[in-house]
Amino acid sequence: MRQDMKTIRLSLVSAALLSIMVFAVTPFGTQGMAAVVEESGATPNAVNADFESSSAAPEASGSRIWHCWYWPYVDYLNPNLYDANEAMHRYDSISGADSRGWEHYAHGPGGNPDAEGWWGHCHAWAGAACWEPQPLASKDVSGVTFRVRDLKGLLVEMYFTCADGTKYELYSSKPSPGLFMLYLKNEIGNYNSMHGESMGFVGELYFDQPGDFQVWNYPVYKYHWSGEGSATSGYSGYVEIWAANDSPNVFADMTSLEDKDAAYFKYYWSGVYFNDGIPTDSGIWEGSGPQDRPDAIWRPYYADTYTKYLENTQLTSQYLAAILEDNSGTFTDVPSDYWAAGYIDKIYQAGITQGCGGGRFCPEDYVTRAQMAKFLLKGRYGSPYEPMNPYKGYFYDVPFGYWAAYYIEQLYDEGITGGCGPGYFCPDDPVNRAQMAKFLLKVLYEASYEPMNPYKGYFYDVPFGYWAAYYIEQLYDEGITGGCGPGYFCPEDYVTRAQMAKFLTLVFNL
């Protein structure tokens, strides 16, 4: 299910896009100047010099951002979603609907006799590719095989109205070079992403057709910029971006994302100012044509129901769920017989987590206190939830711009945590099982909640007087935990991501 009464899946873009920025001084070729290079995997060390910055491409197939075909409205460019044996035909075979006829009329030549060859679904594909996993394999439903291209086609149709201008969580029209690069660094480079994980976004980008410039929608997944100048006079340089592509039609069946197949754009800019390596909203684009700058960037809200952006009235949640759920194969490091596979799939489908990157979940990794803050609030309020309070600076070790700062401060505002000591939260410390018991019950009920049941001595390692004994026993009474083995709870053991998946599933009834 995409939605229930308490949780709405908000898929977080695969951490396969995740990159940590590093700055290193290298020669740039101008006397007295240097280049600052950003690569994956080290700690920032900003300098006022020239700037070169890059993001990593997705590490594995199955990630968000994927090549596709734009499913045109005209018969002379194929395939179309309404063609015989294509997505709508197969859908109708199991549902008895007439989505194919609807599509031929509303998104095809039936009702659009003057349609041009560029009319199609590129906007819907770009929005879907920001959020939905890349389908990796065919899926059989009621005896009908839905190929990768069919799964992509239905995902694209599901996002058809996502670009109408009212459904954006991120939008900037004609951004300055500095602002554009800031979005690249924040969202794709994961410097300060809206969702705490690296995400792609859609670029409305011009390309040169013979005698014409056309603007198309492309989901951007990788960038690189380079420039020279000074902190006082600003910098000049260029930015390159790579985006998934929707032509030729063989991309409909593709399950990998490689730069050689990408749509590539390069723009030149000047007058950009940086603040400790971070671009500011400044500068101008060099060149006078529309092809010399991005026209706009955007990303829709996640389709938390199958019909949120749907226009084809013959498609229903019942059949779309049967066809599309689990099309990504979930996580490569969680085999179907792994003890927590079902719980992990539940929190994935609920949008509480997208995994640890590269199509993996890392089930045996420990959960940090920062991750816990986001898990708990997403579980409590539903996956679209984002804290809206301004940054307040409660904790010395949670600075402004820290990816989980707003979640941590919201947890504090709600009285669920006071930190790990005066003025500190210890966001990167792992959470132990005793701490987790208390956190879960306070989030489930209210901050003032205290278990009232008498001590019962369920676990040998949770003696009477242990600080979290009543929380641990209440968690046992509610059927949320049976301990770590017969008669033991292991209260000081750190919570793994697999264990957290089970706790969240049972506490929030996912």
CA 137 to chain centre: 21
In sequence order, what DSSP letters do the residues of 40-61 get, joined into one string? SSS-----SSEEEEE-PPPSST
CA distance 505 to 510: 5
DSSP 133: P
- For 279-289, what is the mean pLDDT? 94
pLDDT of residue 453: 87
pLDDT higher than 60, residue 382: yes
In a domain, 341, yes or no: no
408 belongs to a structural domain: yes
Q: Are 62 and 14 in contact (CB under 8 A)?
A: yes
Distances (CA, A) of 204 to 266, 288, 290: 14, 17, 11
Query: In which domain, by residue range, is 479 found?
Result: 364-507
Is residue 456 situated within a structural domain? yes
With cut-offs at 50, 70 and 90, classify the pLDDT of residue 448. confident
8 A C-beta contact, residue 71 and residue 121: yes
User: Is pLDDT above 70 for 14?
Assistant: no
Structure tokens at 254: 């593709």
Whether the Cβ atoms of residue 480 and residue 439 lie closer than 8 Å to each other: no
- Greater model confidence, 243 or 214: 243
Residue at 436 is within a domain: yes
pLDDT greater at residue 37 or residue 196 = 196
Give yes or no for residue 19 having a pLDDT over 50.
Answer: no
Q: What is the DSSP letter of 252?
A: G
222 located within any domain: no
> Which amino acid does the sequence have at 270?
S
pLDDT of residue 7: 28
Q: How distant is the alpha carbon of residue 450 from its chain centre? A: 36
User: How far, in Å, CA of 163 to CA of 202, rounded?
Assistant: 10
* Positive/negative CA dihedral, 258, 260, 265, 268: positive
Largest CA distance in the chain: 81
**What distance in Å separates the CA atoms of residue 97 and residue 270, rounded to the nearest whole number?**
55
Which backbone phi and psi does 219 adopt, to 5 degrees?
A: -80, 115
Give bridge partners of residue 212 from the DSSP assignment: 209
> pLDDT (tens digit, 9 = 90+) per residue, 103-120?
999 999 999 999 999 899
| Confidence label for 54 from pLDDT (cuts 50, 70 and 90) | low
Tell me which of 373-387, 419-433, 468-482 is least confident: 373-387
- Please report the pLDDT score of residue 331 as a whole number: 78
Q: Report, as an integer, the average pLDDT of 292-297.
A: 95
Tokens of 48: 């006022």
Instruction: Check if the beta carbon of residue 150 is closer than 8 Å to that of residue 144.
Output: no
Is the pLDDT at 43 greater than 80? The verdict is no
Inside any domain, residue 379: yes
Q: Which residues contact 136 (CB under 8 A, 6 or more apart)?
A: 61, 62, 148, 255, 327, 328, 329
| Three-state SS at 144 | strand
**Sign of the alpha-carbon torsion through 458, 460, 462, 465:** positive
Model confidence at 130, pLDDT cuts 50, 70, 90, reads very high
Mean pLDDT over 250-255 rounds to 91
105 within a domain of the structure (yes/no): no
What are the tokens at 245? 């592509």
- Does residue 452 fall inside a structural domain? yes
The pLDDT tens digits of the residues spanning 144-159 come to 999 999 999 999 999 9
State the virtual CA torsion across 452, 453, 456, 462 in degrees, nearest 10: -30
Please tell me the distance from the alpha carbon of residue 243 to that of residue 126, in angstroms, as a whole number.
Answer: 10
CA distance 364 to 383: 23
Provide mean pLDDT across the span 304-312. Answer: 93
Of the candidates 435, 472, 440, 478, which has an alpha carbon nearest to the alpha carbon of residue 457?
A: 472
Query: What is the tally of structural domains in the chain?
Result: 1
Query: DSSP alpha helices (H): ranges in 82-121?
Result: 87-95, 99-106
pLDDT at 412: 93
